[in-house]
Chain A
């Protein structure tokens, strides 16, 4: 069974709008981390924002913010004031430890975002 699920494979919005990308995950660990990355057409994978399971802070980085619903095992990425350059593929990832110096990183399948001018 998939452990990190991004329901939408594609999304389209107009420039200036706000978008929410949803991600759900499964883990039995108490401490884990969730990441959002953007995969550019050039091949580069860019880190956007991180949420630690133990943190209650509402993480924000520029136009990126997250809504973390720990009890629902859900994390959403919100991108405000969309720009055409925001187009790309967005991945949600779960980092969880399973042994000393051993951990798993599990990525979702990604969501293609198209921002229309």
Chain B
């Protein structure tokens, strides 16, 4: 088995601040994802990375940057935090890109912007 860790677990920021969320997986999976979950809404895909050094935009990429530094890690940056923003950011990985490959999720980072 493997595990996905996300740091920090809770992130409190100020309006306009640049915030970075980190994700590590030891599954040796090729593909990694960042999702955003808002209350009352389904998860929305922000960025994904097919393999190391690859980046693909999801539906919600505006306002975010991502970086796949190495195969095991995928970072997400909120470029300018929005006031009163509250959301959970979930990182996931899968063995390969494709709908036949299940995604494994991390425990999430809960963001609050004051």
Contact = CB atoms under 8 A, between A and B. Distances in A.
Given A44-B107, A101-B50, A52 B42 contact: no
Interface size class of B (residues with CB under 8 A): 20 to 34
Given A32-B99, A47-B102, A52-B100, 8 more contacts: A31-B99, A45-B105, A47-B103, A91-B43, A96-B99, A103-B98, A104-B59, A109-B40
Nearest to B50: A101
B102 A35 contact: yes
Interface of A: 4, 31-33, 35, 37, 42-47, 50, 52, 91, 93, 95-97, 101-110
12 contacts: A33-B99, A35-B103, A43-B106, A44-B107, A45-B90, A47-B102, A52-B100, A93-B43, A101-B97, A103-B99, A105-B33, A110-B42
A95 B98 CA distance: 8
B88 interface: yes
Q: Is the interface of B mostly helix, strand, loop or mixed?
A: loop
Interface of B: 33, 35, 40-45, 50, 56, 58-59, 88, 90, 92, 97-100, 102-108
Q: Is the interface of A mostly helix, strand, loop or mixed?
A: strand
Nearest to A51: B99
